[in-house]
Amino acid sequence: MADKLIIVESPAKANTIKKFLGGSTRVVASMGHIRDLPKSKMGIDIEHDFEPEYINIRGKGDLIKSLKSEAKKAKKVYLATDPDREGEAIAWHLAYILGIPIESVCRVTFNEITKETVQESIKHPRKIDLNLTDAQQARRVLDRIVGYKISPVLWKKVRRGLSAGRVQSVAVKLIVEREEEIEKFIPEEYWNIMATLLDENTNKTFIAKFYGKDKKKIELRSKEEVEEVLNNIENGKYIVTEVKKGQKKRTPAPPFTTSTMQQEASRKLGFTLKKTMSVAQGLYEGVKVDGKGTVGLITYMRTDSTRISDEARAAAKKEIIKKYGEEYYENRYYKTKQNSQDAHEGIRPTYIDLDPEEIKDNLSKDQYKLYKLIYNRFLASQMQAAVYDTISANIDVNKYNFRASGQSIKFKGFMTLYVETLDNQANEDEESFVPDLKENQEVVKKKIDSKQSFTAPPPRYTEASLVKALEEKGIGRPSTYSPTITTILERRYIEKEQKQLVPTELGKVVNKLLTENFTDIINVEFTAKIEEEFDEVAEGKENWKQVIREFYEPFEKEVEKVEKELEHVELVEEVSDVPCDKCGRMMVIKYGRYGKFLACPGYPECKNAKPLVETIDVPCPKCGGKIQVKKSKKKRKFYICENNPKSCDYISWNKPKK
């Protein structure tokens, strides 16, 4: 008989923990959730105060029997599922299945899976936190109600099998709205004038950019305006009227949260959110390291806190001084953002002495890349700021003003180790040269250039920038970003082009129907407000059923109103120019699981359907035939001649030009 039975979610975590405990302790895995709402019906008893009807998950019968058998043999059962709301809920369901009293002191959590933490945590178990399980139940129940009540509207008006989700629908809405902004965007012309100037004292050239006239900024909008400036300064002298010197500091970014880790892994490593979380899970649960055995290499990877422990802070100090010297260290504290759950530390390495390079051979290629990113980011967060020497100069020529600015690094500080990547922004910290100019000196014009540009539309979202937007708007929490984006990709409401997220026609149709008819539900403010209410449930400030009650009554009325209004509304189908080859009717464009297709409007008498071939208005560069747009297995677009392979071999990843 085992003295103790410890139940975790995954076999990998179980294997790591076993190594730290005595032989009389058994560690087994529940393989995630064992109870959930049924798939075949809503599973919420609305008449009895929204009571969820949980059932054992199909296919887990043998596992449940095995867990019950193991629990009977043990003197004490500890539930050591993940340290978040989801993990708390799994522990709560396990307690129910195994007949463990809800008041029992049986819950153990590990923010990091190291020998010290595991052994210490088991010495200090606690009761299951019912506030956390209630917060998870509130989310699960509310999302189930929304999905089950709204999805049938989509079935009737778009096609069967579609589904709507509270957070997912808002994410789709953001992507569709961004696409509409891009489509409506009208580029505006603007010009820059750059003067290449020579400082005769140092015999070095530098670039000054046109600023304005009489110290007032001027935006150049046409070639005529540029010509006017150029004509007025053609024979003028370039006089330095003001020089400012200074210093600028750049401070390091805080340790990773789930969101910032996902963003940086996307930008720096090209990882999808799903891949980042999968690799991070492996690093957290345990990796076999030479001389150490199996150890968890990082702290828990679902967190929105940047707080770090005093022990980790002390370890970072020691490592920084050892590797770089005392002048590179600074004890830094980071403010955790408002609404953060702050249950855990930020994401950091568990053993600072396990340098990524030293254990590279023990890690897979992806594990090494992500571990190095986490390790370096954490260490850099406790380092000195980078320091730049800056110089800026105003240069006048015939009342017109040019400006030059330069900077050079004086002390690299944390940038020796790590620099955060920013979305769609030029790197502000690149060095640029301006010589040591003096006021009232003349500089010599070597050449002058003008450049026409056009304002660009807002960029499409990437996985990284969408996560950032969701987080900033208060939509979702660390555990929901990845599944949200994965779900809307799988439902084909959006697709990826390179790294950009683009709404499909299906996504646009579904978004239009939902946003026009469920304005109170499918909006950013409502979704963010509900997240705050879930947080209040988790803190014990709000009753979870009260949150559902307040939501349900107006929601139910809205659903009834929409169903009535849409009862006699038919979606207008787009008629194509392709006749049905069976009955002659003009075929209509419909939306299927894999996108658009052509179907005969005479259904069910005529059931003819065929793929819809997308073409572009550019002829084949080789034979003049039509160019078709197709997609590879990895959903990447390519362009192929309609005559390929019969009489033309044209095929390209790049869109042909007229």
Do 107 and 129 contact (CB within 8 A), yes or no?
yes
Contact 107, 91 (CB under 8 A): yes
Structure tokens at 224: 């005529």
Contacts of 519 (CB under 8 A, 6+ apart): none
d(CA 419, CA 411): 14
Tokens encoding 262: 């996902």
Using alpha carbons, list the distances in angstroms from residue 110 to 32, 103, 114, 125, 215: 16, 21, 9, 11, 61
Biggest CA pair distance of the chain:
97
Strand (E) or helix (H) holding 280: helix 273-285
Rounded Cα gap, residues 269 and 373, in angstroms: 9
Q: What does the alpha-carbon distance between residue 436 and residue 385 come to, in Å, rounded to a whole number?
A: 25
Q: Are strands 4-8 and 25-29 parallel, antiparallel or unpaired?
A: parallel
In whole angstroms, what is the distance from residue 138 CA to residue 133 CA?
A: 9
Decide: 145 and 521 in contact? Cβ < 8 Å: no
CB 272 within 8 A of CB 463: yes
Contact 145, 44 (CB under 8 A): yes
Q: How many other CB atoms sit within 10 Å of the CB of residue 616?
A: 13
Query: What are the catalytic residues?
Result: 300
Distance spanning both ends of the chain, measured CA to CA: 78
Nearest of 476, 365, 499 to residue 424 by alpha carbon: 499
Q: Find the Cα–Cα–Cα–Cα dihedral 203, 205, 210, 215, rounded to 10°.
A: -30
Residues in the chain: 658
- Per DSSP, the residues of 479-530 read TTHHHHHHHHHHTTSEEEETTEEEE-HHHHHHHHHHHHH-TTTSSHHHHHHH
In 290-371, at which residue ranges do the beta strands (DSSP E only) sit? 293-295
β strands within 125-266, DSSP E: 126-127, 189-199, 204-213, 216-217, 238-250
Residue in this structure with the two tokens 């709301």, named with its chain if needed: 85
Instruction: Please tell me what DSSP assigns to residue 416.
Output: G
Residue pair 312/348 in contact (Cβ under 8 Å)? The answer is yes
Q: By C-alpha distance, which of 331, 321, 326, 325 is closest to 352?
A: 321
Q: What is the DSSP letter of 567?
A: T
